[in-house]
Structure formats: structure tokens, C-alpha cells
Amino acid sequence: YYFVEKQVSFGPRVISSKGWQECALWLEKKFKTYTKNIIIQQAPITTYDGKNHILKNIIASFSPEKNNRIALFAHWDSRHIADHDTVNQNSPILGANDGGSGVAVLLEIARQFSNKEPNIGVDIILFDAEDYGQPENSEYPIMQDSWCLGSQYWSNNLHKPNYFARYGILLDMVGAENATFRHEEISSYFASPILTKVWRKASNLGFGNYFIFKKAKQILDDHYYVNTITGIPTIDIIEYDPATENNFNKHWHTHNDNMQNINKNTLNAVGQTLLEVIYNE
């Protein structure tokens, strides 16, 4: 919870902004207290609005010498607009849940690993520029693959030659009260056994109210590029809300995606489940 709060304290983390720069430095510094194996991947990108930036993917590795490894992913940027809000659509959002929550859980997992190393190697990979996708009402020409620029870059330019992981887990919007996570279609297609493993573990731990054995329609997210480009079977743990029109969290891409949208029990359910999965590998 504190790690979400800290990220949000920098303000919106939109690529090239002051909040983004300061948060990147803090993330790097924080990860360095948990492992000495940090890689910052930088690359030029052009977004759908014709702007040029240098993206930063932040990678923290545990037991980098081990061949038997898994990868954990989240995006650390926040959206540059509030295109699903009714007010102030042109100002950037805090992204406490959308961005902050996944990173926070992975920071806590890194902190745990610094006390007790798992048997397998683990790479924690924070993608930049996931959320700079082209809005539906955009006046710019349609740009293909405008979302998930950091994961596209990493998938095409792995941080180590011949890098491979047995499987990957992406966290996206894992912090809201009473969130539910379902078997999303792309995850099922590429990594069904991993879904089963994680959801079973969650049930055994008493988190069956969060991890539900039901299907959800496909979501274009970072795991799509990881699966299709790298071949690392990767699932997406992402909130599915049957009550909203888009089935995302009700505060998705609005200014209400702030600390009030964050719940400690949900963060705990996700973090504890991942730790149990990883320490049992």
C-alpha cells in the first residue's frame, strides 16, 4: 500500500514528465536495495500523437545466473489523459490502480526476495509507455500497436541475449476493493497451465473470492506482445468487473483512479498468491 502511495506522490507518471523522471529514479533506487542486478533499458519511441520520447523499462533480476527462471511484469507509467472521465479529459491521471498497484506488488515481492531467495531465478520487468495508447476519439491518423510500447520494445530487444523464462505473469489493475480476476482469453490461449496453477494456489490460500474460475474476453495488454513476440507463455492478472461497460475497473482512465481506489486486502491477495507460487517452484 505504501509503495502505491509513494508512486502516486510523484503525480502522474507520463513519459518524459517530471513525475515520471522522479519516479523512475525512485524505482531504480528502491530496487537497488533489494538486488544489485538492475538494468534500465532505454529506447526512442514515437507515440500516436507524433511526439518523440525515450522510454525506460526497469528490470530487476534475482539469481541472474540460473537458467530456470520466470518473469513478472507490470507497467509503471500512467495514462496521459483521462479519456473515460466526464471532466478534465485532457489532464493526466494518477493511475494508483492502473500502473501503481502492479508495480507496488512487485516491489514488495522484490523486498521479500531480498530476505529469502527463491529456488528459481526471477526477473521483475517494469514496462514504460503501456498506457500512451491512442484514444477512441483521436483526431490523429490511426496508429497500429499504439499501446504497450515498452513491452513491444522489450519483447523485440530482450535485456539479455537468448533470454528465456519458463513463464510470465503480468499484473495490471490489481489493487481495487473487491476486484475479481478471471481467465482472460489471450492468457488461456498461450498459457492455460499457468492460469490453472495460479488460480488453484489462490483458492488454496483462501483468495477464491478474488481469483474466479470463469472466462473473460481478450484484453490487449503487455502480455499479448510478450506471448506473440518472445514465446514466453504469459498470463495477465487484470481486474474484470462485470458491472461496467468495458469490464475494467469503474475508475479506469478517470481522475478517480487515486488512492481511494486502492485496497490493502486486494494487494495482499495478489502478492501472497504470487509469493506462494514462486517459493514453491
Query: Which residues bind to ligand AHN, rule: CB under 6 A?
Result: 98, 131, 133, 147, 172, 219-221
Q: Which of residues 56 and 201 has its CB atom nearest to ligand AHN in the complex?
A: 56
Q: Which of residues 131 and 239 has its CB atom nearest to Zn ion in the complex?
A: 131
Please choose which of ligand AHN, Zn ion, none residue 221 contacts, taking the beta carbon within 5 to 8 angstroms, the exact cut-off set by kind.
ligand AHN
- How far apart (Å, rounded) are the C-alpha atoms in residues 246 and 57? 28
Q: Which residues would be at the binding site for Zn ion (CB under 5 A)?
A: 79, 98, 131
What would the DSSP string read from start to end of 171-227? Answer: EES--STT--EEEEHHHHHHHHHHHHHHHHHHHHTT-TTTEEEEEE----SHHHHII
Tell me the closest approach of the beta carbon of residue 88 to ligand AHN, in angstroms: 18
Tell me the closest approach of the beta carbon of residue 103 to ligand AHN, in angstroms: 12
- Give helix 264-279 / helix 185-204 axis angle, nearest 10°: 90
Tell me the closest approach of the beta carbon of residue 256 to ligand AHN, in angstroms: 15
- How far apart (Å, rounded) are the C-alpha atoms in residues 281 and 278? 5
Please choose which of ligand AHN, Zn ion, none residue 85 contacts, taking the beta carbon within 5 to 8 angstroms, the exact cut-off set by kind.
none
Q: Which of residues 112 and 188 has its CB atom nearest to ligand AHN in the complex?
A: 188
Tell me the closest approach of the beta carbon of residue 85 to ligand AHN, in angstroms: 14
Q: Which whole-number Å values give the CA distances from 203 to 22, 145, 173, 209, 276, in the listed order?
A: 38, 35, 20, 8, 12
Task: Locate 132 and state its grid cell.
Answer: 500512451
Pick the closest to residue 151 from 259, 77, 65, 62 (CA basis): 77
Q: Which of residues 53 and 201 has its CB atom nearest to ligand AHN in the complex?
A: 53
Q: Which of residues 174 and 275 has its CB atom nearest to Zn ion in the complex?
A: 174
**Residue least distant from ligand AHN (Cβ):** 220
